[in-house]
Amino acid sequence: MGWKEAAEPVLTRMPAVRRPEGHVPFKRKLMWTAGILMLYFFLTNVTLLGYQTGGSGDFFGEFRAILAGAHGSVLQVGIGPIVTASIVLQLLGGANLLGLDTDDPRDQVLYQGLQKLLVVVMVVLTGLPMVFAGGFLPAQQQLQLGGFALDQSQVQLLMFAQILVGGILILYMDEVVSKWGVGSGIGLFIIAGVSQRLVTGLIQPAPGGFFYNWYQILTGQIEVGSLVSSAGLQTLLINEGQIIALLTTLLIFAIVVYAESVRVEIPLSHARVKGARGRFPVKLIYASVLPMILVRAVQANVQFMGQILNSQWGSMPGWLGTYSAQGQPTGGFFYYVAPIYSPDDWLWITANISQEWWQVLIRVGIDLTFMVVGGAVFAIFWVETTDMGPESTAKQIQNSGMQIPGFRQNVGVIEKVMERYIPQVTVIGGALVGLLAVWANMLGTIGQVSGTGLLLAVSITYKLYEEIAEEQLMEMHPMMRQMFGNE
């Protein structure tokens, strides 16, 4: 008996959101999407029962823009377990260790059940150390719950149970949006988190808000000094003025929108209907920006492991990692593999950096290499596992009755044409996105949104706009749904 036969009784019984029968009206899709978005914001503001406020900061704060959720809330782990489970499945599928054929309906059910099971496992593996190790989520010494008095260990169990429920909730919230709403839940949650931080960074009436800072600068409440001095330029460009952060944010928006429009269009014609022509676009960012979530999730998990080792060992070997009192890596392996989060991590004029210049350069080089190479590798994995590769695309074109003018109507011929473009564009696009993410982090952004988070938000919003436009077109012309197989 193989693993599929042994696991089938469990995997096929994993709860799933029922797919809609027939067409779902566009207004109803918007209602489902808005409802899940409101539920997401509500859950991020529900504090864990038993959580002792005023403890250590959010370790995932630098990754929070892409992992969603909120520190100390029911959605503490955010979409991290979903992303980690996807990485594991992609690696297993890429090595052909699962033996699952995604074209087989039975294997599709097993794959979806296995993904849900892995997400639950990842929620447990992520939530346990957060609650029981290292003081990431300090629990109250005692808690009076109804007529019961809970000690600290029982409070920790209660907090872990809430995190587990939140992790499972966000899994099914994502599934509801994917089947009944517009776009995907993961993309929706990322847009929500990044947009909230961007708007807060612009208009909050407190130090750190862009407009508030400039109000203080113009009224003389913040001393700028001479504009020809390094201190004055630092105040205007980097610190309070945030001019570089604003320009970086605007440039990222412009570059991503432009890159989404850059494409190679392969002409198509219908094999039986004369005059019916079309084009298959191979975009520069063919694999989308979503593989960047996988790359950053790997980095987040590595840093999380370092934090756990540091909290348990007290002091690790110097070559492995040294940490400051605030829990930030200052040397060793975990310092060099830590991402660059802001100008403070590499620009000497913005902060007192304790590391030598060559150590900072090594860290920048490792982060840049990891993001560029990792972006290209995960983009290839993403294309192959989401049926966007040359072989799957050729089958889709063949099944639609289309062909490439001047070539025989054969799947193998279409696949060879696709192989001229898709693999190369996938690698170039993945590497470009990784480079942009590191560049944005190094220069900083408004609201301290990470470069990866900003890239994701802009790209997902652009694709969401395209999907909404397509939904409206199909709503106005019902025959279009039949052509695209949506009914």
pLDDT of 57 over the 80 cut:
no
CA–CA dist 299, 337 (Å, integer): 8
Q: Where are the alpha helices (DSSP H) in 219-356?
A: 230-237, 243-261, 291-313, 333-336
pLDDT at 481: 53
- Per-residue burial over 131-162, b if 16 or more Cβ lie within 10 Å, else e, is bbebebbbbbeebeeeeeebeeebbbebbbeb
Tokens of 94: 């890429």
Tokens of 53: 């406020």
Residues making up the chain, counted from first to last: 487
φ/ψ of 71, rounded to 5, equals -65, 135
Extents of the domains making up the chain? 23-181, 208-295+364-483
Decide: helix, strand or coil at residue 47.
strand
Q: Identical fold at 23-181 and 208-295+364-483?
A: yes
pLDDT of 97 over the 80 cut:
no
Of 447, 474, 461, the C-alpha closest to 190 is 461
Q: What percent of the chain has pLDDT over 90?
A: 27
CA–CA dist 159, 161 (Å, integer): 5
User: Which amino acid, one-letter code, is at 139?
Assistant: A
pLDDT average, residue stretch 345-357: 76
- Tell me the CATH number of domain 23-181, given options 3.30.470.20, 1.10.260.30, 1.10.3720.10, 1.10.3370.10: 1.10.3370.10
pLDDT at 384: 81
Counting beta carbons within 10 angstroms of the beta carbon of residue 169, is it exposed (0 to 12), middle (13 to 18) or buried (19 or more)? Answer: middle
pLDDT average, residue stretch 367-396: 88
pLDDT average, residue stretch 183-203: 89
* Mean pLDDT score of the chain: 85
> Which own/partner pairs from 286-289 qualify as long-range (CB within 8 Å, at least 24 positions apart)?
286/379, 286/383, 286/388, 286/422, 286/425, 286/426, 286/429, 287/379, 287/380, 287/382, 287/383, 287/388, 287/426, 287/429, 287/430, 288/382, 288/459, 288/463, 289/256, 289/433, 289/455, 289/456, 289/459, 289/460
Q: Which fold has domain 208-295+364-483?
A: Preprotein translocase SecY subunit (1.10.3370)
Predicted TM-score (pTM) of the model is 0.82
When pLDDT is cut at 50, 70 and 90, the band that residue 368 belongs to is very high
Of 382, 363, 385, 364, the C-alpha closest to 374 is 382
Beta-strand relationship, 263-270 and 277-283: antiparallel
pLDDT average, residue stretch 217-227: 83
CA–CA dist 16, 299 (Å, integer): 30
Q: How far apart are the first and last CA of the chain?
A: 39
Sign for the CA dihedral angle at 230, 353, 339, 37 comes to: negative
481: number of Cβ within 10 Å: 16
pLDDT at 1: 55
pLDDT average, residue stretch 37-41: 94
pLDDT at 100: 77
pLDDT of 34 over the 90 cut:
yes
pLDDT average, residue stretch 14-43: 90
